[in-house]
């Protein structure tokens, strides 16, 4: 079994964080493909998968370029392999929710208070500062996952399809919710697992493109909420 990684990044001049990430993955014997200046994260991931020479059971990571993985290399690869060993598993990642509501965002505060979310992520600015822990809930099965880090088998990715769906207008947002929801709807089990990492960005929902795709997603699924 091989493990691959697809990472979208804006420039060939890699930030220190991205350099650390690529170095870490290399030491894990994970073949990494940097997707630079893509028109869309959907098309970037789709083309990378199409060009990949891999077996169905091989694993593909799709992650942000601004993360630090905090696990030892052996623990990291063991979690990936063991979590995806069951053919009924869809995507795995560090955080997600069991219930997606009309807000169309997985981290919905009301659902968080009701204990619907799973997993945890550290947030900070590199390894030199103490990161803050964002604990969403115990690890376990979820409906959808956050896209800071996703992993699945090649078989699952081909079954789900990585091209942008027609109902989303923008090319950079809600890919994670779309991918994992498609897997969920196909009867695969998405899971939040203990993939400890620091996300060196607080994230932003102020972008017009994010809100555009959130509205598109809502309009597509408005008669289906809550999605369990």
Residue 227 resides in a domain: no
Nearest partner of 61 among 86, 87, 84, judged by Cα: 84
User: What CATH number does the domain containing 109 carry?
Assistant: 3.90.550.10
Residue 226 resides in a domain: no
Q: What is the pLDDT of residues 2-47, one digit of tens each?
A: 999 999 998 889 999 999 999 999 999 999 999 998 889 999 999 9
Peptide bond into 226 cis (omega under 30): yes
Residue 20 resides in a domain: yes
Tell the residue number behind the tokens 């409906």, with chain if given.
143
Sheet holding 189-192, edge to edge: 31-36, 3-9, 59-63, 149-153, 89-93, 189-192, 140-142
d(CA 8, CA 227): 29
- The tokens of 180 are what? 């994992």
d(CA 57, CA 43): 22
Residue 192 resides in a domain: yes
Number of domains into which the chain is organized: 1
How much of the chain exceeds pLDDT 90, in percent?
86
Q: Determine how many CB atoms are found less than 10 A away from the CB of residue 62.
A: 28
Global confidence as pTM: 0.95
Q: What is the pLDDT of residues 132-187, one digit of tens each?
A: 899 999 999 999 999 999 999 999 999 999 999 999 998 889 999 999 999 999 99
Residue 14 resides in a domain: yes
What integer pLDDT is reported at residue 54 of this predicted model? 97
Residue 152's domain spans which residues?
3-221
Nearest partner of 171 among 146, 142, 207, 204, judged by Cα: 207
Residue 228 resides in a domain: no
Contact present, 151 and 60 (Cβ < 8 Å)? yes
């Amino acid at each position: 079994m091989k493990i691959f990684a697809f990472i979208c990044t804006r420039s060939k001049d890699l930030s220190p964080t991205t350099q650390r990430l690529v170095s870490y993955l290399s030491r894990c014997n994970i073949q990494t493909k940097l997707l630079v200046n893509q028109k869309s994260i959907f098309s970037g991931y789709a083309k990378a998968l199409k060009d990949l020479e891999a077996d169905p059971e091989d694993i593909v990571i799709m992650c942000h370029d601004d993360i630090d993985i905090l696990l030892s290399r052996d623990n990291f690869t063991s979690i990936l392999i063991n979590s995806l060993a069951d053919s009924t598993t869809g995507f795995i990642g560090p955080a997600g929710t069991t219930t997606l509501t009309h807000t169309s965002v997985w981290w919905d505060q009301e659902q968080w208070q009701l204990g619907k979310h799973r997993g945890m992520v550290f947030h900070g600015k590199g390894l030199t500062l103490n990161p803050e822990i964002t604990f969403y809930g115990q690890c376990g099965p979820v409906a959808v996952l956050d896209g800071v880090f996703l992993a699945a088998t090649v078989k699952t990715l081909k079954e789900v399809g990585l091209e942008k769906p027609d109902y989303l207008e923008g090319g950079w947002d809600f890919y994670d919710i779309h991918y994992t929801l498609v897997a969920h709807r196909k009867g695969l089990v998405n899971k939040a697992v203990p993939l400890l990492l620091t996300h060196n960005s607080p994230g932003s929902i102020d972008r017009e493109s994010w809100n555009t795709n959130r509205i598109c997603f809502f309009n597509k699924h408005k008669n289906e909420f809550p999605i369990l």
